[in-house]
Structure 1
Amino acid sequence: MTAPALARRVVASAPVVAVVGALALTTLVMLVVGVDPTLAYPALVRGAIFDGNLEYTIAAFVPTLGMALAFALPLRAGEFNLGGDGQLAIGGVTAAALALLVPLPPVVAVVLPLVAGALAGGLVAAIAAPFSTRLRIPAIVSTLLISAPAVSLASYLVRFPLAEPNTGIAQTPTLPDASHLPFMGGSGYVTIGLPLIVVLTGLWLHIDGRTVTGYEIRATGQNREFARYGGVKVDRVAALALAGGGAFAGLAGALIVLGPPYRFVDGALTAPGYTFTAVAAVLLASARPLAIPVAVALLTVLQVGGLGMEREAGVPSQLTQIVQGLIIVIVAVLATVRARRGVRG
Structure 2
Amino acid sequence: MTAAVGLLRTTATSPVLWAILGGFLIGALITLAAGHDPVSVYWEILQGAVAGPNLAESIARAVPLVGMALVAAIPLRGGMVNLGGDGQLLLGGLVAALVALYLPAPGLVRLTVAILAAMAVSGAYAALAAWGEVRFGVPLLISTLLLSYPAKGVTSYLARFPLRDPSTGMPETFRIDEAARLPVLVPGTPITWGLVLLVLVIAAVVFTDRRGTAGYELRLRGLNSRFAAYGGVDLGRQTVRVLFASGAVAGLVGAILVLGDQFRFTDGALLSPAYTWSGLMAALLAMGEPVGAICAGLFFAALQTGGFAMERATEVPRVLTLVLQAVIILLLAMRHGLRRQPSGGR
Q: Tell me, yes or no, whether TM beats 0.5.
A: yes
Instruction: Tell me what 1:7 maps to.
Output: none
Using structure 1 for the length normalisation, give the TM-score: 0.92
Q: Does structure 1 retain, via aligned residues, the 8 Å contact 2:100–2:114? A: yes
Q: Does structure 2 retain, via aligned residues, the 8 Å contact 1:205–1:290? A: yes
Q: Does structure 2 retain, via aligned residues, the 8 Å contact 1:55–1:187? A: no
Alpha carbons of 1:115 and 1:321: their partners in 2 closer, same or farther (altered >3 Å)? Answer: same
Show CA shifts across 1:172-197 (max 9, x none).
Answer: 11102221101112134100111110
Q: In the aligned structure 1, how far is the partner of 2:79 from the partner of 2:58?
A: 31
Question: Which amino acid is the alignment partner of residue 239 of structure 1?
Answer: V
Instruction: Tell me what 1:28 maps to.
Output: 29
Instruction: Tell me what 1:147 maps to.
Output: 148
Instruction: Tell me what 2:196 maps to.
Output: 195
Q: Does structure 1 retain, via aligned residues, the 8 Å contact 2:77–2:287? A: no
Q: How does 1:288-307 map to 2 (within 5 A)?
A: 288-307=289-308
* 1:242 counterpart = 2:261: no
Q: In the aligned structure 1, how far is the partner of 2:58 from the partner of 2:104?
A: 33
Residue 288 of structure 1: how far off its partner (Å): 2.0
Instruction: Tell me what 2:259 maps to.
Output: 258
Residue 344 of structure 1: how far off its partner (Å): 7.5
The farther-off stretch of 302-311 and 330-339 is 330-339
Give the 3-state SS of the residue equivalent to 2:158 in structure 1.
helix
RMSD of the alignment, in Å?
Answer: 1.8
* 1:72 counterpart = 2:73: yes
Show CA shifts across 1:68-113 (max 9, x none).
Answer: 1100001112111111111101100010011111122132121111
Q: How does 1:166-205 map to 2 (within 5 A)?
A: 166-205=167-206
* 1:19 counterpart = 2:20: yes
Alpha carbons of 1:187 and 1:341: their partners in 2 closer, same or farther (altered >3 Å)? Answer: farther
Identity across aligned pairs (percent)? 40
Moved >4 Å (runs of 4+): 342-345
Q: How does 1:1-345 map to 2 (within 5 A)?
A: 14-341=15-342
Using structure 2 for the length normalisation, give the TM-score: 0.92
The farther-off stretch of 27-36 and 326-335 is 326-335
Instruction: Tell me what 2:6 maps to.
Output: none
Instruction: Tell me what 1:6 maps to.
Output: none
Show CA shifts across 1:20-75 (max 9, x none).
Answer: 12111111111111111111111112222224222211111111111011000011
Residue 137 of structure 1: how far off its partner (Å): 3.2
Give the aligned length: 333
Q: Does structure 2 retain, via aligned residues, the 8 Å contact 1:132–1:138? A: yes
Q: In the aligned structure 2, how far is the partner of 1:134 from the partner of 1:21?
A: 43
Q: In the aligned structure 2, how far is the partner of 1:343 from the partner of 1:271?
A: 46
Question: Which amino acid is the alignment partner of residue 335 of structure 1?
Answer: H
Question: Which amino acid is the alignment partner of residue 295 of structure 1?
Answer: A
Q: In the aligned structure 2, how far is the partner of 1:343 from the partner of 1:215?
A: 36
